[in-house]
Structure 1
């Protein structure tokens, strides 16, 4: 397995997080161009104004310190809900890993680090949204996320943190 390190996400990581939103949207080797993904108001909500109060994240970098993946969470309001919204005060996890680094433990490492961070911050649950057919669903299940809603080709999954 190739070497990588992780570090906390900073306000300067906004552009990279946008890249990871595009990676996540293109999980199935389809190619939705960056502008098309980021013009979608829901995808845009995952990064707009990064790093606002309540946002937290982790970035993975290769052995040459190039970012290769990120996981972060945001809080949303009911009137501005994203794909995985379940309730006010429940952070939504967003995760993206560059294609060559997938299935090498990077996503799992990022997810574990971020869920522990959310637990320490006092959150009781974390949510995420995944498209049906996405191979990452098995990762999410193995990390304790369970499906609470399925509609429109997407599943909303929740993990209890305490």
Structure 2
């Protein structure tokens, strides 16, 4: 396993979280959705606009030299402005991004575990996410207790019970 540490996300991490939104959008090898196009998408923009709102929580993975290499965070979305993994008001939706060189080294799992622990500690009973059908991360999510609750347009909405 690679040498990395996890710390809480801070208000100053907004720019790095935007980078991780772009990584999340470009998870396929060779994917080239440019940063401006990704950040112009209202769904992706919704995950970072105004970071850090009072209910927002996140974690950042740092390499051995303290450089950020991945992040996972959650937000609450309103019924009239849902994200792709929206299941209900009051259920946070997470997003996760890891730099390509750090994928498949345990960073994503560590981020996911740390973030679900934070959501549980904050009193949430469930946490949700959205993932494309062919994204290899689906196996990670299933292994961490997420189950599919809805499928539409090539994406699964997955939920994990935290209680």
- TM-score with structure 1 length normalisation? 0.99
Task: Report the TM-score when normalising by structure 2.
Answer: 0.98
1-side partners of 2:122 and 2:4: how far apart?
25
What residue number does 1:5 align with?
A: 5
**TM-align CA RMSD:** 0.5
Supply the distance in 2 between the matched residues of 1:132 and 1:43 (Cα, whole angstroms): 18
How many residue pairs get matched? 162
Partners of 1:52 and 1:40 in 2: CA distance: 20
Which residue of structure 2 lines up, in the alignment, with residue 82 of structure 1? 83
**What's the offset of the Cα at 1:2?**
2.1
Runs (5+) with no aligned partner, structure 2: none
Moved over 3 A (4+): none
Q: Tell me the residue number matched to 2:70.
A: 69
Partner of 1:19: 19
Q: Quote the residue 1:109 is aligned against.
A: 110
Q: CA deviation at 1:50?
A: 0.1
Cα distance per residue 1:53-108 (max 9 Å; x no partner): 10000000101111000000000001110010000000001100000000100000
Give ranges in structure 1 of 5+ residues lacking alignment: none
CA distance in 2, matches of 1:6, 1:158: 23
Measured in 1, the distance between the counterparts of 2:28 and 2:151 equals 19
Q: Partner residue of 1:129?
A: 130
Q: Equivalences for 1:19-98 in 2 at 5 Å?
A: 19-29=19-29, 30-98=31-99
* 3-state SS of 1:108 partner: helix
